[in-house]
């Protein structure tokens, strides 16, 4: 039995090594509903900031963490400008930021508060992220086509550790060959040597910025847009089906 198991492991390893199609998953906006989770947390905190007795617990009954000093300061600035944010608004702010477009004072305040939340030293917010629609379905489809990876941009060192924990919690059986965390996705692709070997690398990502980086390094891409939506899942699954 031991010899059979060792032979099977060796066979699986060779199958991975011999497969020349490599599919990379972005996390935020593809596997993770980043904007949806953040919008919920921001709105709970805004409501609490207006009326301290109105929202002292989140939707699961947990006592709210008031956040870091910079987070509380950012919240005070934010509540003077807005009463509520939406996931679509958060996505639009990111698109404008990536494109170098000007943003309104409200959008700048929202963006600053988002980064205060994401940069909290506990890193708990990364573990609280909700799974994006269709994430498991896309992973299942991709692993039938080739080797699958994670290629995600970190927000500070704490996010790397927490993102790995999040993946282990929500996708413990996903056969990721590697989990790579880099904000320079073209360089990350080059470092794998995949393109140099004449093999095919495909990135599934919601942000045009990272799509451009990956393509400049010789990779192909699937634009998962609008982020974390059923419409994006349908188009991504269709693209995977054509591989």
Which sequence spans correspond to the domains of the chain? 19-33+129-241, 34-127
Domain 19-33+129-241 indexed as CATH 3.40.190.10: no
Work out whether the CA dihedral 84, 226, 114, 81 comes out positive or negative: negative
Q: Check whether 96 has a pLDDT greater than 70.
A: yes
Band the pLDDT of 16: cuts 50, 70, 90.
very low
Q: How far apart are CA 30 and CA 238, in angstroms?
A: 15
C-alpha–C-alpha distance, residues 75 and 168, integer Å: 32
Closest CA to 237 of 146, 148, 135: 135
Among residues of the chain, what percentage have pLDDT more than 70?
83
For the entire predicted model, the pTM comes to 0.85
48 falls in which pLDDT band (50, 70, 90)? confident
Q: Angle, to 10 degrees, between the axis of helix 87-99 and the axis of helix 208-216? A: 40
Q: Which residues contact 242 (CB under 8 A, 6 or more apart)?
A: none
Structure tokens at 205: 């990502």
Instruction: Please tell me the distance from the alpha carbon of residue 225 to that of residue 231, in angstroms, as a whole number.
Output: 8
Going by C-alpha positions, the residue among 35, 44, 37 that lies closest to residue 65 is: 44
What is the pLDDT, as a whole number, of residue 53?
52
- 3-class SS at 158? helix
134 phi, psi to nearest 5 deg: 75, 5
Q: Which residues pair with 28 in a beta bridge?
A: 32
């Amino acid at each position: 039995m031991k010899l059979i198991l060792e032979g099977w492991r060796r066979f699986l390893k060779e199958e991975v090594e011999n497969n020349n199609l490599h599919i990379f998953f972005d996390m935020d906006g593809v596997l993770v509903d980043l904007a949806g989770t953040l919008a919920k947390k921001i709105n709970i905190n805004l409501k609490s900031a207006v009326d301290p007795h109105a929202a002292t617990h989140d939707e699961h009954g947990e006592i709210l963490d008031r956040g870091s000093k910079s987070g509380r300061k950012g919240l005070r600035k934010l509540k003077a400008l807005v009463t509520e944010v939406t996931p679509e608004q958060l996505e639009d702010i990111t698109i404008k930021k990536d494109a170098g477009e000007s943003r309104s004072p409200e959008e700048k305040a929202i963006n600053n508060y988002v980064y205060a939340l994401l940069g909290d030293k506990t890193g708990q917010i990364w573990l609280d992220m909700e799974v994006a629609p269709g994430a498991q379905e896309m992973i299942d489809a991709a692993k039938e086509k080739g080797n699958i990876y994670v290629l995600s941009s970190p927000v500070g060192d704490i996010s790397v550790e927490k993102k790995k924990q999040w993946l282990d919690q929500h996708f413990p059986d996903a056969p990721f060959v590697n989990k790579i965390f880099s904000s320079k996705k073209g360089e990350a692709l080059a470092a794998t040597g995949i393109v140099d070997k004449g093999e095919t690398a495909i990135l599934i990502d919601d942000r045009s910025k990272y799509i451009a980086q990956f393509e400049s390094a010789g990779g192909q891409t699937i634009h998962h847009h609008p982020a974390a939506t059923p419409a994006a899942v349908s188009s991504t699954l269709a693209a995977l089906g054509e591989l």
